[in-house]
Amino acid sequence: MATLPRRPAALLAAGLALLSTLAGCATATTVTAATTATATTSAANARPPATAIPSPAAPTSKAPTLTNTGTTWPKIVGSLTTYGQWLLANPNPALAAAITVPGCAADNALTAELQARVNNGTYVQPAAPILVSISGPTGSIGGQVIVDIRAVRGAEPVYYHTRPRSTTHVVSDRPALPPTDLSLTLIRGSDSRWRLCTASSDQNPDTEALTSLL
């Protein structure tokens, strides 16, 4: 009897081996894709490193008492500027509303400077302005007035905090204010206290000048 050729059996074995190899490749590809997807998702959900937000330093002195009611303009303007200078020495933008009307140009300018000083760790050693002249309305007045003043102030050194309650050498100076005529717009709040809304000079009427006065 003739012996049948073994070729079909060999072909069948080769085919099974090929299928096994392809199945292994598919499995490996699936695992790789899943791993890549997991890594991509983890990277997308990763949180950026936290950035420390500077906080105002503790005040080195007690805030001056405000005297900003009534119509005694020299006393009112003097009290507002004294408090403003205390803020420059103890920067805290949250306290600006004690002397400025939120949303007004004076408030925006003062808050911005105080926040900048908190951010860079600096504070001002203020030089009290001299109010050469002050004139305001008399008699019956409404809730908004304009008070005209003439003021002059010396240069003010700026210090840098290296750690709480410590200082280094002067890092800069706030320029002196030469004799300057300023118009201050004051608004009286529901608490009967006057606060600054704008401060402008004849030389630069479109520039907010409160921080220059302080």
In a domain, 62, yes or no: no
Q: What is the pLDDT of residues 148-203, one digit of tens each?
A: 999 999 999 999 876 655 556 678 899 999 999 999 999 999 999 999 999 999 88
Distance between the two ends of the chain, CA-based, in angstroms?
121
In a domain, 188, yes or no: yes
In a domain, 55, yes or no: no
Question: What is the rounded CA–CA span in Å between residue 64 and residue 111?
Answer: 18
In a domain, 7, yes or no: no
Between 61 and 50, name the one with better pLDDT: 61
In a domain, 179, yes or no: yes
Question: What is the rounded CA–CA span in Å between residue 41 and residue 36?
Answer: 9
In a domain, 153, yes or no: yes
Rounded to 10 degrees, the C-alpha dihedral 62/68/69/73 comes to: 140
Amino acid at 104: C
pLDDT band at 56 (very low <50, low <70, confident <90, very high): confident
- pLDDT for 149 equals 98
Question: What is the rounded CA–CA span in Å between residue 89 and residue 56?
Answer: 11
**Residue 105, H or E segment:** helix 105-120
Instruction: State the total domains in the chain.
Output: 1
- pLDDT for 23 equals 45
What mean pLDDT comes out for the span 16-38? 43
In a domain, 171, yes or no: yes
68 contacts: CB under 8 Å, gap ≥ 6: 76, 79, 80, 99, 193, 194, 195
User: Can you give the residue range of the structural domain that contains 94?
Assistant: 73-213
In a domain, 130, yes or no: yes
- Report the CATH number that the domain containing residue 153 is assigned in CATH: 3.10.450
Q: What is the pLDDT of residues 106-161, one digit of tens each?
A: 999 999 999 999 999 999 999 999 999 999 999 889 999 999 999 999 999 999 87
